[in-house]
């Protein structure tokens, strides 16, 4: 049917999405005078000043490092604790199963702003304010549920007979996980890690509020040093462009399983 | 389905522990603050529902709640049909489809602050891309106009998140077996009938997830909108989360801010209950 036709609508849609991105990339190479002056589609006098500053000033490039550290910590914690839980939700009957699953989901739906004040309070009291682990733990409240949700979908699509035969072969639960289940749902784990990465990477409010200097992510540095609200346009554009890179790398890495991942592993 | 409560308890323990520490306990703090008054930050006095009463009667809160609801409804009205339309036209396989899918996912991985910054510069007077595009079709992009700022915010959110709907719907469409289409062709079904009686029913689950995620995330929009408009002009784009941050961290009214957070939480629970049947465990559907 429609499959032979050229997909005009998706192509136009994607082009419109890419247009602002393209424009941002050109801005990173423009001088501030050109940016504020008039609209140009190519940099008239291309400059590497902004990008050079970001990669040479420690305050700037460390912002990306800090963000990557807490994001990776969060991915490890979220996927690590979610995997056994997702298996339990998929394979076991236990009292309070549905309310518990629902409870997890509610936290995914919750705005970070609701927990802002207690998080600042708790992490300050624990002397964890301005550390990477504080942000990584704070991001768990929305990432653990999403990880459980996606992994449960992927595990449920693995036939139960595999569990049974592993049991008969004498695998312990641990060895079953390591030798059989994890290789089976490898794409599911990659996609889950991708989602946790994504939600932690884009979050700003908590990451900024829980850090001061030692763990300040790039977004926090952008608001402070450059001043997003009025400031050095070219520098901020360059910082934004570099901020795209980890996301693009992740998308390319999981591209084959992206679509299934977006349906929370539920459409097999 | 295995029944071994001991084993399932062990499997669930670590996740529950993390959620307890990073979710339930902080939420408990919010509930505690919402019914207490505090002096100098360490003496707490029980005040019952006083803060809730105050919050409910504050016109700022009522308007912010209405604005947030209106924003979410508009977001859904734009993004769900648009996302569905794009997904329906996307080829099921092929290089072009893969390239488009990867490109579409890029906005989803853009940090919230960068999204805000991008749309702020797009709407710059004189040099902004959006300003110039609007000028071509004869429109002035005056960021002092409420209508314009709302439109820009809706466009921004559509840019950022419509792809989520596209990819969800696309995943659902790919899961429909070809036999369904073949049977429809034999019956001589029109494209509309195929959509109405085959595709739409099969997409119920993924569209449910899409509506739920999009509602919740747009209802809690903070960073992007704040960067673009700072809540203005006037207070016309001050949403619930802005009101909450303003009250809790800038005015430092812990009780009032927490009461707001509890009300926010109640909305989240209500909407989640409504959708729970749609998005619950995999085994329920099969």
**Mind listing the pLDDT tens digit for each residue in B30-56?**
999 888 887 656 677 788 888 898 888
Model pLDDT, residue A266:
62
Q: Interior CA angle at A231 toward A226 and A233, to 5°?
A: 95
Model pLDDT, residue A57:
85
Among A1-5, A110-114, A130-134, which is the least confidently predicted range? A1-5
- Residue A178's contacts (CB-CB under 8 Å, 6 or more residues apart) are none
Which residue in B149, B274, B172 sits closest to A109, CA to CA? Answer: B274
Among A166-180, A223-237, B15-29, B64-78, which is the least confidently predicted range? A223-237
- Does A78 have pLDDT greater than 90? yes
Closest chain A residue by Cα to residue B111: A202
Closest chain B residue by Cα to residue A74: B18
Residue A195 buriedness (CB in 10 A; 0-12 / 13-18 / 19+): buried
What's the gap in Å between the CA of B74 and the closest CA on chain A?
Answer: 19
Handedness of CA A263, A81, A248, B226 (dihedral sign): positive
Write out chain B residues lying below 8 Å of A88, CB-based. Answer: 7-8, 11-12
What's the gap in Å between the CA of A96 and the closest CA on chain B?
Answer: 11
Model pLDDT, residue A130:
93
Write out chain B residues lying below 8 Å of A153, CB-based. Answer: 282
User: What are B212-241's pLDDT values in tens digits?
Assistant: 889 988 988 888 888 888 877 888 888 888
Question: Does B124 reach chain A within 8 Å, measured CB to CB?
Answer: yes
| Mean pLDDT, residues A99-120 taken together | 88
The answer to whether the CB atoms of A17 and B104 lie below 8 A apart is yes
Q: What is the ipTM of this complex?
A: 0.85
Question: Does A253 reach chain B within 8 Å, measured CB to CB?
Answer: no
Residue A134 has phi, psi (to 5 degrees) of: -60, -50
Model pLDDT, residue A174:
86
Model pLDDT, residue A225:
59
CA atoms within 13 A on the CB side of A75: 20
Model pLDDT, residue B282:
46
* Residue B280: DSSP 8-state: S
Mutate to test the interface with B, among A4, A14, A199 (most CBs of B within 10 A): A14
Question: Does B208 reach chain A within 8 Å, measured CB to CB?
Answer: no
| Mean pLDDT, residues A185-202 taken together | 89
Contact by Cβ (8 Å): A247, B106? yes
Write out chain A residues lying below 8 Å of B14, CB-based. Answer: 80-81, 84-85
Write out chain A residues lying below 8 Å of B268, CB-based. Answer: 106, 109-111
The answer to whether the CB atoms of A263 and B112 lie below 8 A apart is no
**Mean pLDDT of the residues in chain A:** 87
User: What are B149-161's pLDDT values in tens digits?
Assistant: 999 999 999 999 9
Model pLDDT, residue A60:
86
User: What are B55-100's pLDDT values in tens digits?
Assistant: 888 888 899 989 999 999 999 999 999 999 999 999 988 889 889 9
Q: Which residue has the higher pLDDT, A1 or B52?
A: B52
Write out chain B residues lying below 8 Å of A240, CB-based. Answer: 114, 117-118
Q: How many whole angstroms separate alpha carbon A149 and alpha carbon A85?
A: 10
Provide, rounded to the nearest whole percent, the portion of chain A with pLDDT above 70: 94
| Mean pLDDT, residues B14-36 taken together | 92
Mutate to test the interface with B, among A117, A149, A191 (most CBs of B within 10 A): A117
* Residue A92: DSSP 8-state: B
CA distances from A68 to A132, A133, A146, A197, A247 (A): 10, 12, 20, 9, 11
Structure tokens, B122:
């797009």
How many A-B residue pairs are in contact by the CB < 8 A criterion?
A: 318
User: What are A46-74's pLDDT values in tens digits?
Assistant: 888 889 988 988 888 999 999 999 999 99
Write out chain B residues lying below 8 Å of A106, CB-based. Answer: 268-269, 272
Model pLDDT, residue B283:
42
- Does A227 have pLDDT greater than 80? no
Residues 163-192 of B with CB under 8 A from A: 163-164, 166-168, 170-172, 174-175, 181, 185, 191
- Does A3 have pLDDT greater than 70? no
Closest chain A residue by Cα to residue B108: A198
**Mean pLDDT of the residues in chain B:** 86
């Amino acid at each position: 049917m429609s499959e032979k036709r050229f997909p005009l609508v998706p192509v136009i849609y994607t082009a419109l999405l890419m247009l602002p991105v393209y424009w941002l990339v050109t801005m990173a190479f423009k001088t501030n005078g050109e940016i504020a002056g008039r609209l140009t589609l190519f940099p008239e006098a291309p400059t590497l000043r902004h990008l050079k500053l970001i990669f040479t000033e420690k305050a700037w490039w460390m912002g990306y490092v800090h963000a990557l550290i807490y994001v990776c910590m969060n991915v490890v914690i979220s996927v690590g604790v979610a995997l056994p839980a997702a298996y339990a939700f998929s394979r076991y009957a236990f009292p309070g199963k549905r309310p518990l699953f629902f409870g997890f989901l509610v936290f995914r739906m919750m705005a970070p702003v609701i927990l802002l004040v207690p998080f600042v309070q708790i992490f300050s009291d624990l002397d964890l304010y301005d550390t990477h682990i504080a942000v990584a733990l704070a991001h768990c409240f929305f990432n653990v549920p999403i990880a459980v949700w996606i992994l449960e979908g992927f595990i449920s699509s693995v036939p139960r007979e595999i569990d049974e035969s592993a049991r008969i072969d004498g695998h312990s639960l641990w060895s079953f996980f390591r030798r059989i289940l994890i290789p089976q749902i490898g794409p599911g784990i990659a996609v889950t890690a991708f989602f946790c990465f994504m939600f932690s990477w884009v979050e700003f409010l908590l990451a900024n509020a829980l850090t001061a200097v030692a763990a300040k992510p790039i977004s926090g540095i952008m608001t402070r040093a450059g001043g997003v609200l009025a400031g050095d346009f070219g520098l901020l554009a360059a910082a934004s462009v570099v901020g795209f890179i980890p996301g693009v790398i992740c998308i390319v890495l999981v591209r084959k399983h992206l679509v299934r991942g977006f349906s929370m592993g539920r459409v097999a | 389905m295995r029944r071994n409560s001991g084993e399932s308890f062990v499997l669930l323990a670590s996740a529950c522990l993390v959620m307890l520490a990073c979710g339930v306990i902080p939420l408990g703090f919010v509930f505690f603050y919402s019914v207490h008054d505090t002096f100098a930050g360490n003496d707490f006095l029980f005040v019952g529902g006083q803060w809730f009463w105050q919050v409910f009667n504050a016109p700022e809160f009522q308007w912010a709640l209405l604005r947030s609801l209106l924003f979410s409804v508009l977001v859904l009205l734009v993004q769900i049909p648009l996302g569905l339309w794009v997904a329906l036209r996307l080829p099921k396989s092929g290089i072009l489809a893969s390239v488009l899918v990867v490109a579409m996912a890029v906005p989803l991985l853009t940090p919230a602050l960068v999204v805000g910054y991008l749309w702020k510069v797009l709407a710059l007077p004189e040099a902004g891309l959006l300003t110039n595009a609007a000028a071509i079709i004869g429109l002035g992009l005056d960021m002092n106009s409420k209508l314009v700022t709302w439109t820009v915010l809706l466009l921004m959110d559509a840019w950022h998140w419509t792809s989520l709907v596209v990819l969800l719907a696309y995943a659902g469409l790919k899961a429909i077996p070809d036999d369904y289409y073949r049977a429809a062709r034999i019956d001589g079904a029109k494209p509309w009938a195929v959509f109405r009686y085959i595709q739409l029913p099969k997409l119920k689950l993924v569209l449910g997830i899409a509506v739920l995620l999009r509602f919740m995330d747009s209802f809690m929009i903070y960073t992007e909108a704040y960067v673009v408009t700072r809540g203005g002009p006037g207070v016309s784009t001050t949403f619930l989360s802005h009101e909450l941050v303003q009250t809790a961290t800038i005015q430092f009214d812990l009780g009032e801010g927490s009461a707001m957070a509890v009300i926010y939480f109640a909305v989240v629970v209500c909407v989640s209950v409504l959708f729970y049947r749609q998005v619950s465990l995999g085994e329920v559907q099969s």
